[in-house]
Chain A
Amino acid sequence: MEGKRLEASPRAPGAAATVIDAAQFGGEVRSVADMLLTAPGVSIHALGGPGQAATLSLRGASADQSVVLLDGIPLQGPGGGAADLSTLPATLLDRLVVSRGVLGAQFGAGALGGAVEILPRAAADKGTGGAQISAGSFGSLRAAADAAFPAGAGSGVLAVQIDRTEGDFDYARQLTPELPDAPYYGYTRHNADARRVSLLGRASQPLGGAMDLDVLAQGSMGDRGLPGPASAITLDSRELDQSLLGGLRLRQTTGASAWGLRVWGRLDRIELRGAQPFGDCRDGTPECPRLDQRASAVRAEGEGSLEVGSTHRLAGTLSAGEERVHGGAIEPHHREVLSVATRDDVSLPLRFSIIPAVRADKVGVDAGLSPGVSAVWSATDALDLRTGWGLSFRPPTLNELYLESGGIASNPDLRPERAWSLDGGITLHGAAWKLSAGVFWSRYRDLIVYELYPPAKVRPFNVGSARIAGAELQAIVQLPAGLLAQAAYSWLDAVNLRPGDQQGHQLAYRAPHRLFLRLARRGDRLEGYGECSYTSALPRNAYDSAYERSQLVFNAGVGVRASGPVWIHLEVRNLLDDQTLEDLFQYPLPGRSLSLIARARL
């Protein structure tokens, strides 16, 4: 009997993974970050409320070490930093695949915590479409529409999402937090408004001879206030961003072999107005220049796979390109990017599979090998066991190497960060349920940490070292009456190994426990959900002496089919109206919010 594959990314079939179906959130006002929180091993760092920046952490790795790909194209902030999830339109997506572990062999240099693959709505060969409009608290509005249609011999999809929010929510803070039972005082968030327009176009055209041409274009444009932390608000800082991404792929599958060629390009621009390292300033004044940073990346990729006998499927990719950054506080810089990767899926007797992979990346002057191997044993139809090992690196970003801005100094001598991890897991599944559990152990060194650069700047250095271990549990159970229950739990033990007083303490900003519970019903006339998200207290410094308190948030929604394909939904988030919630950096989070949503699906 041949080996059997777990539900996973095609690029990392042996990795610990969670597939999130975006359709399950129909009728809810979701962001990409909200969706990802349903998976174990995921943490989101959100700088405030709706429309504000949000980045991803996988298995305790930093945001820069967690790769985000849109239809296979890596997303990054200008200068190579972490992708901002808030710029991605949630309603334009089909599903998200979260792969966890040191996965440089599968996803390329940088995937030290893992990767999130975001798959946009697919083209369809028959006409379908939908629309959704919502209005809610804090002046929040969303309108989204999509249409899939035949196009010639092929198909296409067009989708648009428009968001806006005033972001003027109320929050509460203690002015004297050292005093027991100090009173909370009420405030209203200002300069937290956000507007965004996102577009997606995708088409697929058969060319004959089992050959297809795929086209993808995605653009996003936003403008938001940067309100700052509660203790140092910034009423004059704003950020404008634009991004455009496009790709062409030619692919052919013939019998036991498949090949593809792809070119893609990405343009990103961010302009900061009224912003400076320590607070804000009045835009337009001589001492307050605008910071305009632009980045671009182009890549050409070839890929192929070939079945060899009945036990091997060999796959390889070759990729070459360039990334550039310039503008504002950074001199023009560019670097070449080159990679070669190969993988073999080996099906062995007794339903055993082994998947060795290796990838060589050269990013500018930094080059390295990322080997990895995973093994899967489908012991029975209801039981899968897996294990994996990976070793990889993350080259410093162009910003880390070259950005000189206000209080930030560059360090062109930075080396890549390095990590390896070992993990294992078990999955039990039946017709209507699935339970999975996994453990991992990872080691990081040469981590890039921003340190004071006397007298008054910060500068990145390769001084960090850490060991992160943990466990992940997930349960999905289909219940009677159209109910679906989900639970995801993550445990992290992130220990700082940097020599000095920090050694042996917990890594800052990593919550040891995170629990997500959700019960949802889908049906013909009545839908609804209730969910709970718990994040334990997490260290706010590197010495286990300051903690951000634990957070418990309940959300719920109900929807009824009003007429034909038209549904009306009511959603309540932060049901307990806890106005004291803050993110890691003391950015207030919204209290209870209501949204009324109308949607139609044809």
Chain B
Amino acid sequence: MKRSALVILLLAACGGRYKAPPAVASVPMPSGAQLKPWDPEHPGLARPMGIAQLNGKAYVALGNYDAGYMPRGPGLLASFVPSTGQVSLIDLGGTGGKQCISPGWVRTGGDRLYVTCSGDFNSGAGTAIVEVDPSGQGSATRRFATSTSPAGVAATSSRIWFGDAFKGAVYALDRDSFTAAGGPVSIACPLEGTYQTVNDVAIVGGDLYALCSNSVGGVLNRLESTTGSSKGTVQVGPVAAAMVETGDGRIAVVSGADNKLRLVTISGNQLSVATAYTYGGQTSTLQDVRALDQFVFTVASGTNTVQKIDLSAKGGAALVDEESVGSCDSSGVCPTPWNILPLDDDQALVTNQGSSTVVAVKWAH
């Protein structure tokens, strides 16, 4: 793995772009007894959600619930090398398999992975932040039972931050002791609307950024990453589902309600926002955004599509490609993509929550 990192560095130093080995076209997620169902008679289905890459491996948070979205087993983390597609599972469930239910986000922090467990929406059980050591076969090393359903996770050298799915607040864990270190820290949210939810958190330029939105507005908060004190806000559109730092240091935000990709520019203490791209009428339910080099990659789960947008295009951000991650099959299973992970400028992995697969997208442009 160290060799891979060296290759990337050398390529970057020489001005070339890293090219990942070709990824396996479609990697089916495990099923049946492999998902460790609480009741062997009623196994769940693997629902790939968040995806992250560490040391050349892809890590995919797997929901584990049945067709009626009832959790049937512990939260799991699938890992595989994209070029081989050989999947192994890391059990996040802890004692009794119910300490982590319905994992959603997975993000890297140094040599560790951090996973949010949204919990059983009916009982509220199984909400947690889980730390995973990917070495060897991988294992859940520490687990913090949260008092709320966590939404988004981001790590600094001393803190693990996560948002609150039920209100406009973020929380901090001390990364050394894995105990509560702060929060709830209230953040700015839309003043109107019937609910407030944190959609995502990220560390950019040493600061913590947290998205809070609802159906009538969205606010990006800039916070001091140790204490959570506010350093500014900017309006970023309704149902601001996800954000990412772009290659040029801006923050890209996708808003599912108004079908827009916005770019937030950080200039000293000021944040400013501009619409970079407006999706067409047929594209729906923008769900995720990731970035690599001058590109951002987005997911529209309602239309089973992913997009590649060039931020450096002449005249402003421009769509350079769109790919379908598949259609509904003959048995009625539809892909319903969730997250995207660019492997290089020409290929990406996409988690298909509906069809229990992770597919590779090869960009034509």
Interface residues of A (CB under 8 A from B): 174-179, 182, 185, 187, 190-191, 231-236, 276-282, 285-289, 406, 451-457, 459, 461, 463, 498-502, 537, 540-543, 545-549, 586
* Size class of the B contact interface (CB-based, 8 Å): 35 or more
Which B residues lie within 8 Å of A280 (CB)? 67, 332
Is B307 engaged at the interface, CB distance under 8 Å to the other chain? Answer: yes
| Given known A-B contacts A278-B69, A500-B190, A178 and B319 have beta carbons under 8 A apart | yes
Which A residues lie within 8 Å of B282 (CB)? 174, 177, 546, 586
| Given known A-B contacts A461-B194, A545-B260, A286 and B283 have beta carbons under 8 A apart | no
| Given known A-B contacts A453-B195, A501-B216, A176 and B323 have beta carbons under 8 A apart | yes
For this complex, 27 residue pairs linking A to B, each with C-beta atoms less than 8 Å apart, are: A176-B323, A178-B305, A231-B328, A232-B328, A276-B69, A278-B69, A279-B354, A281-B68, A287-B66, A287-B67, A451-B194, A451-B195, A451-B214, A452-B214, A454-B165, A454-B195, A455-B149, A459-B194, A463-B193, A500-B216, A502-B238, A537-B281, A540-B281, A540-B284, A542-B258, A543-B259, A546-B281
Nearest-neighbour CB distance to chain B for A92, whole angstroms, equals 35
| Given known A-B contacts A232-B328, A279-B354, A454 and B197 have beta carbons under 8 A apart | yes
Please determine whether A176 and B259 come into contact, CB atoms closer than 8 angstroms: no
Which B residues lie within 8 Å of A452 (CB)? 195, 197, 214-215
With the chains together, A68 CA to B323 CA distance in Å?
A: 45
Interface residues of B (CB under 8 A from A): 42, 66-70, 118, 121, 149, 151, 165-166, 190-195, 197, 214-217, 237-238, 257-260, 278-284, 302-305, 307, 319, 321-324, 327-328, 331-332, 334, 336, 354
Nearest-neighbour CB distance to chain A for B48, whole angstroms, equals 15
Query: A288 touches which one: B68, B194, B324, B327 (CB < 8 A)?
Result: B68
Nearest-neighbour CB distance to chain A for B65, whole angstroms, equals 9
| Given known A-B contacts A177-B303, A546-B280, A463 and B190 have beta carbons under 8 A apart | no
- 6 pairs of A and B residues whose beta carbons are closest in the complex: A500-B216, A235-B332, A543-B258, A177-B282, A500-B192, A281-B67
Which B residues lie within 8 Å of A455 (CB)? 118, 121, 149, 151, 165-166, 197
Please determine whether A454 and B166 come into contact, CB atoms closer than 8 angstroms: yes
Query: Taking CB as reference atom, which chain A residue is nearest B282?
Result: A177
Please determine whether A279 and B305 come into contact, CB atoms closer than 8 angstroms: no
Please determine whether B322 and A451 come into contact, CB atoms closer than 8 angstroms: no
Please determine whether A231 and B281 come into contact, CB atoms closer than 8 angstroms: no
Query: B216 touches which one: A288, A457, A502, A547 (CB < 8 A)?
Result: A502
Summarize A's interface: helix, strand, loop or mixed: loop
Please determine whether B195 and A233 come into contact, CB atoms closer than 8 angstroms: no
With the chains together, A277 CA to B68 CA distance in Å?
A: 8
Which A residues lie within 8 Å of B121 (CB)? 455-457
Please determine whether B215 and A545 come into contact, CB atoms closer than 8 angstroms: no
With the chains together, A177 CA to B279 CA distance in Å?
A: 9
Nearest-neighbour CB distance to chain A for B322, whole angstroms, equals 4
Please determine whether A176 and B322 come into contact, CB atoms closer than 8 angstroms: yes
Please determine whether A177 and B237 come into contact, CB atoms closer than 8 angstroms: no
With the chains together, A543 CA to B257 CA distance in Å?
A: 8
Summarize B's interface: helix, strand, loop or mixed: loop
Nearest-neighbour CB distance to chain B for A501, whole angstroms, equals 5
Which A residues lie within 8 Å of B149 (CB)? 454-455
Query: B279 touches which one: A178, A233, A500, A549 (CB < 8 A)?
Result: A178
Please determine whether B334 and A231 come into contact, CB atoms closer than 8 angstroms: yes
| Given known A-B contacts A233-B328, A279-B334, A455-B165, A541 and B217 have beta carbons under 8 A apart | no
Please determine whether A542 and B257 come into contact, CB atoms closer than 8 angstroms: yes
Which A residues lie within 8 Å of B69 (CB)? 276-278, 406, 456
Please determine whether B307 and A178 come into contact, CB atoms closer than 8 angstroms: yes
Interface centre among B68, B190, B191 (most CB of A within 10 A): B68
Please determine whether A500 and B193 come into contact, CB atoms closer than 8 angstroms: yes
Which A residues lie within 8 Å of B324 (CB)? 175-176
Please determine whether B305 and A451 come into contact, CB atoms closer than 8 angstroms: no
Which B residues lie within 8 Å of A502 (CB)? 215-216, 238
Please name 16 further chain A to chain B contacts, defined as beta carbons within 8 Å, in addition to the given A179-B321, A456-B121, A541-B258, sorted by A numbering. Answer: A177-B283, A178-B280, A178-B307, A179-B319, A231-B303, A276-B67, A282-B67, A289-B68, A451-B214, A454-B197, A456-B69, A459-B194, A463-B194, A501-B258, A545-B278, A546-B281
Query: B259 touches which one: A459, A537, A546 (CB < 8 A)?
Result: A546
Nearest-neighbour CB distance to chain B for A276, whole angstroms, equals 5
Which A residues lie within 8 Å of B216 (CB)? 498-502
With the chains together, A543 CA to B278 CA distance in Å?
A: 11
Which A residues lie within 8 Å of B237 (CB)? 501
With the chains together, A322 CA to B305 CA distance in Å?
A: 49
Please determine whether A543 and B238 come into contact, CB atoms closer than 8 angstroms: yes
